[in-house]
Amino acid sequence: MAIVLTDVLSPGLPMGPSLLIVAPALTASFASTLITGAIAALAAAGMLVIGLQNGHLLGGTMDFGSQLIALVVVSVIVTVFRYLQERHARELELIRTVAEATQRVVLRPLPRRIGPLRVGSVYMAAQEQSLIGGDLYAAVRTPTGTRLIIGDVMGKGLTAISDAALLLGAFREGAHRQAGLSDLAAYLDHSVCWNLADPTEAEKAGECFITAAILDIPDALPQVDMVTCGHPPALRLHGQKVSTLHATCPAPPLGLGEMADHHYHVDTFTFEPGDMLLLHTDGVIEARDARGVFYPLPERAPSWAPHSPSALVNHLRTDLLAHVGGHLADDAAVIAVQRSRRPTTTEATETAPLPRPVGRGGQASDSAT
């Protein structure tokens, strides 16, 4: 290398050796610490060879000595910074891996089949490098049917994730203990009221709330019972027809029930074999395109009705991201539930693949592919 550099570079001191300082600096921008250090050592050796050939080293030229010292100092600095950068990258990757594992524990993938129900789900987080945010969903199998919840926490970021985890834990416990759906909704509201406003943050009491839809789908009856707590209404797809399941007496969001002293009314809707329920958060219907037009979910959903729940949510995810240009401004979650035409009492144990990225707009997971 020294011979090549001697031939290529000018034999004069001002240009030849001084250019060698660029080699380790450029190498550090794309190569590893080991390669950067090796190039730095070669550059220093090349400068010594050039100095010997031109007589600058033996003559003790001050300019040559200054350039050699500068080369050594710069080489050490860029090598150390490259090492620190690699260490930081390794630590960041470890933190990201732990965070992803934690988020997947909080928002468990839904099974592909729950009793007589076929399920598909998708979650798209608006925050970069995040798998979940303030939206939530969960399903619990009971002796008589299946209970589902879908919700949206006020706010974003780590606080919203913490609040979502709190409600999901309460739902998974309460779904087995509370006989009635109204009692379950009241239990979840009390849990939110007790826990979301920390005693050290009393000024936030009444400001923390979660919109939610809580469903009970019995195995033996072609119906679905639902309590709506300030959440967008679900859609029912019957063939190519779509119906909006409006609550006759919607309750306040969870966390505000005690303030309103509200009774949780249970609405019952027909849910026959072959029908599809489409549950979603407001991040779907409030998503806008470049012109400010909201995403038309009721108009788009019927075209995907003949597909399976997993295929439906995949089509919806692709179409929604295309509508907003690939980046969501808010978290979005969708659950598609279809009652099998031949109900079975055997619960399949298949589980979904873990959440995966779906472009700049967020992350997504579907429970059946």
Q: Determine the pLDDT at residue 258.
A: 65
Q: Determine the pLDDT at residue 358.
A: 42
User: Are residues 363 and 283 in contact, defined by beta-carbon separation less than 8 angstroms?
Assistant: no
List beta partners, residue 215.
Answer: 148, 226
- Please compute, for residue 225, the number of CA atoms within 13 A of its CA located in the half-sphere on the CB side: 20
- Please compute, for residue 184, the number of CA atoms within 13 A of its CA located in the half-sphere on the CB side: 29
Of residues 349 and 151, more confidence is placed in 151
Residues 111, 305, 229: CA angle, nearest 5 degrees: 65
User: Are residues 123 and 313 in contact, defined by beta-carbon separation less than 8 angstroms?
Assistant: no
pLDDT tens, residue by residue, 20-76: 778 888 888 888 888 888 888 888 888 888 777 776 665 556 677 777 788 888 888
Mean pLDDT across 338-345: 67
Q: Determine the pLDDT at residue 18.
A: 59
Q: Which of 21-30, 81-90, 141-150, 301-310 is least confident?
A: 21-30
Q: Determine the pLDDT at residue 200.
A: 47
pLDDT tens, residue by residue, 258-299: 665 668 999 999 999 999 999 999 999 999 999 999 999 999
